[in-house]
A and B are shown apart, each in its own frame.
Chain A
Amino acid sequence: MPADPNNGDDVWVLGTHMTKFGRYPDKDWVDLASESAMEAMADGKVTIHDMEILAAGSLFNASAGPGQRIQKQIGQTGIPVYNVANACATGATAIRTVYMAIKAGEAEMGLAVGVEQMGKMGMLTGATKKESKTYEPSGRFGAVTGVDGYLGTDGMPGVFAQAGMEYANDHDGVGFEQFAKVAYKNHKNSALNPLAQYRKEFSLEEVMGAPVMSYPNTLLMCCPTGDGAASVVLVSGERLKSMSKRAQKRAVKISASVLTSDPWTESGQVLPDVNTLTRNAAEQAYEKSGVDPSDLDLVELHDCFATAELLHYDNLGLCERGGAGDWIDSGGPFRDGDTPVNVSGGLISKGHPIGATGVANVYEVTTHLRGEAGDRQVKGATVGLTHVIGLGSSCGIHILEKAAV
C-alpha cells in the first residue's frame, strides 16, 4: 500500500542518518550528534537554514541542552529547540516532537537528533544508596539502606528477565530456549549490518552457554552499552510536493506516530509493565494508519534483552495472542520469516546508545523502504514499524510507508 505524496497533510521522512554504533573514545557526544545531523540534512539535500524546529534527546546529557550544543556545531539559526528526555524512548520522543510541530502547522521542516555516549559504563542498575553508619529511614519507602538485592533486583537484565518470566508463567511454550533464540537471531542479523556495534554470529548453544547475567538472560542476551547518534529530517507533505521527484521518491511517510505511558495496572506498581502501554500504542498506531500487523514487511522493536523481544511479538500483534513462543519456534521473526524483526541486529547486537535508539530504528526502516539497505535489505519492503520503550514508562511507535512515486 504505497503512500501518496499528494496528500499535503502527511508528515514525511526526507533525510536520515545514523553513525555506526560502537565506542568513540576520540569523540564526544556533541561530535556524534552533529555529524549525524549534518549527514541527515545532506541526505535530504537541505541545510540547517531550512529547519524550523530542532528536537534533541540525550538521556545522560538532558541538563546540558543537547539541541543548543548541536546548533553551536552546525548552525545557530535561532529556531526553537526542544530538549527531550524520556528514558529509552527519548529518540522516538524527539521525532514525535518535530512531527507534532509539522502536524500543527507551526513548521514545514524540522530536525530530530538522538545521541548517547555511554562507553563501557557496565550494567545499568537502580540508584545505589550510600551505606550509612546509622540506620535512618529515608525516601518514599522509608528505607534504611539500599534495597537492590534485598527486595528483588533493580538491575536491568533482571528486571527484564522477570518481565519475560511473567509471560512464561502466563503462556505455554515459552522458556529459556525461546528467549535464547531471539538473541541467536539478532546476532546473526547483525553480521549483515555494517553499522552494528557487534557483527558476530553465535550458535544457539553458545547463547545459552554464555555467562548468566540474570537467568534466563545470559551475557549474549543483553544489549551492550555504547556510543552513537541518529537523525531524521521531517517535512510536511505540502512542502514535499514542491521538492524534486527524487526527494519525493525517497521520502517515507509517517503513517502513525504514537506515544503512550503506563495506565494503572496492579503488577505495574512493582514490576515495570512493558506490555500494556505497548499494546495501547500498537492499537492506536494500527488504527491511525489503517495498517494491519499482517501488512508489515519489517519491524524494529525494543529488544534491550532477549526476554523483552518475545513479549512484543504478542504486544504488537505479530503472532497469535499468547503464541510468542510458538512464533519464534516456527521462524516467524527471522529474516526469511512471516515478519522479519530486528534485521538490523536489534539493540542486542546493533547496540543501544539510549538517546539514539528511537531514531536509529526509524533510520533502519526508512533505509529498507527506500531499497537502500544493501546486504541486509528486506526485499520489496513497503511498510514497517518501529517500537521503543523507556522504563517508567514511555512507549513510542512509528509506522512508516514507502512513497508511491
Chain B
Amino acid sequence: MTKKPARKTTAKTASVPTEQVPLVDYLRLGARPYLRAHECTKCGARYFDRRNACAKCGKTEFKNARVKNAARVKAFTIVHRAAPGVPAPYVSAIVTTEDGTTVRSNIVNCEPSPDTVRLGMKVKLTTYPIGTDDNGCEAVAYGYQPA
C-alpha cells in the first residue's frame, strides 16, 4: 500500500508515520484489496456486519470469506440531488459479485449517464482515497469500475 505524506502535521503527530484506513472495516486494503464478509458456516449466507445468528438459518457460527472482485450491475441510479456535502451527480449501484454476494457501492471511473451505465454491465472492485484527517491519515473507499 502506498503511503502518502501527511497533508497537515502537528507537533504531536509529526513523527508518526502516515497511514491509510479503509472507509469501512469490511474493505481489506493491501496489494490486492477485497471485501471481507462474515459467512454462515451452515448455509453460506454472507453479511458485512456482525450478526448474533444467521438471519437466514439461525446458526451462530461464521467464518471470514473473501468476496470475489468481479461483479455485474444488478441495479443502479444516478443521483443528482445528494445529501448535503456529497458531490453529485454520481452513480449508486447494487452489484452481484461472481460468487453471488450483493454489494452496495458507487460505480466509479464511469460517466454518470444512463447511456454509459448499463444493467448487467461487468464491473470490478477498485479503491480510491476520499480524504485525509488531521493526523495525515487517508481514508480509502471501494467502488466498482467497468471491467
Contacts and interface: CB of A to CB of B under 8 A. Distances in A.
Interface of A: 123, 125-126, 128, 131-135, 137, 140-155, 157-158, 161-163, 165-166, 168-169, 176, 211-217, 264, 266-267, 269-271
A152 B95 CA distance: 10
Nearest to B84: A128
Contacts of A126: 83
Interface string B33-49: 00000000000011111
Contacts of A132: 133
A158 B86 CA distance: 14
Q: Rank and list the top 6 A-B pairs by shortest CB-CB distance, nearest first.
A: A142-B25, A149-B86, A161-B77, A166-B75, A153-B92, A152-B104
Contact of A152 (B26, B84, B106, B131): B106
A149 B103 contact: no
A166 B76 CA distance: 8
Contact of A214 (B73, B79, B134, B142): B79
Given A158-B77, A271-B75, 5 more contacts: A125-B83, A151-B142, A152-B106, A153-B82, A161-B77
Given A141-B48, A151-B105, A152-B106, A123 B81 contact: yes
Contacts of A150: 23, 106, 130, 141, 143
A308 to B, nearest CB: 13
Contacts of B104: 151-152, 270-271
Contact of A215 (B49, B77, B101, B142): B77
Interface in B81-116: 81-88, 90, 92-94, 96, 100-106, 114
Contacts of A147: 23-24
Contacts of A140: 49-50
B45 A264 contact: yes
Interface of B: 21-26, 45-50, 55-56, 73-88, 90, 92-94, 96, 100-106, 114, 119-120, 130-131, 133-135, 137, 139, 141-143
A215 B89 CA distance: 10
A163 B75 contact: yes
A134 B133 contact: yes
A134 B86 CA distance: 19
B54 to A, nearest CB: 8
Contact of A149 (B55, B76, B79, B133): B79
B92 A162 contact: yes
18 contacts: A128-B84, A135-B133, A135-B137, A143-B23, A143-B25, A145-B130, A146-B83, A148-B82, A150-B141, A153-B82, A155-B82, A157-B77, A166-B75, A169-B120, A215-B77, A270-B48, A271-B75, A271-B94
B11 to A, nearest CB: 16
Contact of A142 (B24, B74, B87, B119): B24
A141 B81 contact: no
Contact of A264 (B25, B55, B88, B93): B55
A226 to B, nearest CB: 18
Nearest to A145: B139
A214 B119 CA distance: 16
A166 B94 contact: yes
Of the candidates A140, A213, A215, the one having the most CB atoms from chain B within 10 angstroms of its own CB is A215
B105 A149 contact: no
Contact of B49 (A123, A141, A217, A266): A141
A141 B35 CA distance: 12
A157 B130 CA distance: 24
Of the candidates B50, B56, B133, the one having the most CB atoms from chain A within 10 angstroms of its own CB is B133
Given A141-B25, A152-B106, A155-B79, A128 B49 contact: no
Contacts of A157: 77, 79, 81
A145 B81 CA distance: 20
Contacts of B103: 270
B65 to A, nearest CB: 14
